[in-house]
Amino acid sequence: MNTHEKGTNSKLEGNIQTDFQKSMSYGDYLHLDQILSSQHRLSGHHDEMLFIIIHQASELWMKLIIHELTAAIEYISRNDLEPSFKILSRVSRIQQQLIQSWSVLSTLTPSEYLEFRDKLGQSSGFQSYQNRLIEFALGNKNVHTLAVYQHQTKLYEQMLDALNKPSIYDAAIKALSARGIHVDSEVLNRDVSKNYEPNDSVEEGWLTVYRNVEQYWDLYELAEKLIDIGNQQMLWRFNHMSTVERIIGHKQGTGGSSGVSYLKRALDQHFFPELWSLRTKL
């Protein structure tokens, strides 16, 4: 490389903005000063930074999932199914990022975690309200889970509002009915704050869709998108459970839960049950 080339490469291209006294920079737009100054270790242990960042990053991904699911539910509720397909595909990709994060956290050994676990106090991932909002949006409703948010009035009201809104599966079932497929009125008019229970008419409705794919292509596509995100959520739960077991075994969770035993029970809770059961009958 000659002297002229070295001089050229050492300079920025002529049109690159370098003066941000009156302009918004990349860091300004993303508020990086706030995001990157929000990691406060309570111990002197090196690995606590990993623990904090994994959970903070996961909460950001969860915020995006909630944003996307809210839009998808609105589209489906208007019987405008096609725009929801891309949204639900995006949700599935985000879920994959969350699933992968457990493999990063699993590099934390039991001995390393014990160096700072006592600093967490009673804080626990069980208290993640965004994860709870995702579960609500997918149809896993439980009013008793709101108790941990009672000390935050605005958040508690937000959670209660979400509990009483139709899940994405409620919206999908109504889309079935809107296409002339019979669904029992007790399902269409059910209390959406309650956990969804399987229904024979819903299973028969989805069977009609799967047996007549060309006629009901959009409903079929919707069903498969739901299966995808439901499956990814179950994989996230499983990886969560296995990572916790790898790091703390069967110790009680910091928030008072039974830890791995609680997480294992959660694996028995399926989303969109008729979309799974119909496969046996096809």
**Tell me: the pLDDT tens digits for 64-98?**
999 999 999 999 999 999 999 999 999 999 999 99
Structure tokens at 128: 């993640």
Q: Which SS3 state, helix, strand or coil, does residue 214 take? A: coil
Look at residues 112, 120, 106 and name the one whose alpha carbon lies nearest to residue 240.
106
Q: What is the pTM of this model?
A: 0.90
Measured CA to CA, the distance from residue 228 to residue 234 in angstroms comes to 10
Structure tokens at 64: 């995006």
DSSP state, residue 243: H
Ranges under pLDDT 50 in the chain: 7-8
Instruction: Please enumerate in sequence order all residues whose Cβ is within 8 A of that of 255, keeping only pairs 6 or more positions apart, or say none.
Output: 122, 123, 124, 125, 126, 127, 148
Q: What's residue 262's pLDDT?
A: 65
